[in-house]
């Protein structure tokens, strides 16, 4: 078990970045020349949701609903929210958004296959 202030960020990036990289590779291979347009449609809402969740977290922490143990994160805050928590919300929103774009592409492929 990693007991360091870097643990949260290392684990977060360790499980999200490989999945996001895989999703991006599959997305580019599927959408080809439309990949840029798909990313422009998918990423802004993901970042908006990450921001929304960070604001909700800020309110929860500010009112004492929950907190984070000292020494368990880098000590960098956006408001009262640890940086790692903001990154978590952004990364998970991106994962979900890219996943939906890929699922939509898969549904379209299945529909085309049935029509043939």
Provide the residue ranges of all domains of the chain, joining segments of one domain with +: 6-115
Report the distance separating Cα 83 and Cα 104, nearest Å.
Answer: 32
Mean pLDDT, range 18-45, rounded to an integer: 93
pTM of the model: 0.85
Confidence of residue 1 (pLDDT cuts 50, 70, 90): low
**Cβ neighbours, 10 Å, residue 88:** 21
Report the distance separating Cα 39 and Cα 51, nearest Å.
Answer: 18
Q: What is the pLDDT of residues 69-89, one digit of tens each?
A: 777 789 899 999 999 999 999
- Whether the pLDDT of residue 27 is over 70: the answer is yes
Greatest mean pLDDT range, 8-12, 15-19, 27-31: 15-19
Contact call for residues 11 and 84 (beta carbons, < 8 A): no
What angle do the packed helices 83-115 and 7-31 form, to 10 degrees? 20
């Amino acid at each position: 078990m990693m007991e360091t202030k870097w643990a949260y960020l290392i684990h977060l990036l360790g499980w999200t970045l490989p999945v996001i990289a895989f999703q991006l590779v599959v997305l580019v291979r599927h959408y080809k020349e439309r990949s840029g347009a798909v990313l422009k449609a998918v990423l802004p809402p993901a970042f908006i949701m990450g921001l929304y969740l960070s604001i909700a977290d800020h309110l929860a922490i500010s009112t004492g609903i929950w907190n984070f143990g000292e020494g368990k994160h880098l000590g960098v805050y956006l408001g009262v929210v640890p940086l790692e928590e903001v990154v978590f919300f952004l990364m998970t929103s991106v994962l979900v958004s890219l996943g939906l774009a890929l699922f939509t592409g898969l549904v379209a492929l299945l529909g085309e296959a049935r029509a043939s």
